[in-house]
């Protein structure tokens, strides 16, 4: 008989071969302004993000990325410590045992030279879309 813990699979899922970030972004821009440029504001804390909503990412700074693009939900990921490889990364993957990203899971950044950095998730937030008349577009 198998133990319930043995049924959990470690899933390493590549997120993207090409990312949608720019290393030229202003590192000194406050988080709320980065989000506003993308048409979002930070919402409530979430405990998990189902992996099927992780369909793109945007680099904000060494401590934050957004997940999700297009018409579906978007999320803000805050790392527990700065992740130095993100602004040079070309691919991301994550590992989880529960089928969703959760606090304390890791997002792995793999840069153009193949150097890997595992970034521990500290908090995650739902992103709320700002109506176009409010964000100046």
At 12-65, the pLDDT tens digits run: 444 443 344 443 455 678 999 989 998 999 999 999 998 777 778 888 999 999
Please state the domain count of the chain: 1
**Residue 9 in domain:** no
**Residue 117 in domain:** yes
Across the range 71-88, mean pLDDT stands at 87
- 98-105: long-range contacts, CB 8 A cutoff, minimum separation 24: 98/8, 98/48, 99/11, 99/50, 99/51, 100/48, 100/49, 100/50, 100/51, 101/48, 101/49, 101/51, 101/54, 101/67, 101/77, 102/47, 102/48, 102/49, 103/47
**Residue 114 in domain:** yes
**Residue 3 in domain:** no
Predicted TM-score (pTM) of this structure: 0.76
Domain that holds residue 64: 17-129
């Amino acid at each position: 008989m198998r133990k319930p813990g043995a049924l959990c699979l470690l899933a390493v899922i590549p997120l993207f071969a090409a990312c949608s970030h720019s290393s030229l972004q202003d590192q000194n821009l406050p988080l709320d302004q980065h989000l506003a440029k993308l048409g979002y504001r930070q919402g409530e804390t979430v405990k998990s993000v189902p992996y099927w909503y992780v369909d793109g990412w945007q680099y904000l700074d060494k401590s934050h990325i957004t997940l999700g693009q297009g018409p579906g939900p978007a999320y803000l990921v805050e790392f527990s410590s700065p992740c130095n490889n993100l602004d040079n990364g070309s691919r991301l993957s994550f590992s989880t045992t529960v089928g969703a990203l959760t606090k304390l899971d890791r997002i792995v950044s793999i840069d153009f030279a193949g150097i890997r950095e595992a970034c521990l998730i500290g908090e995650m937030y739902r992103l709320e879309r700002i109506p176009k008349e409010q964000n100046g577009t």
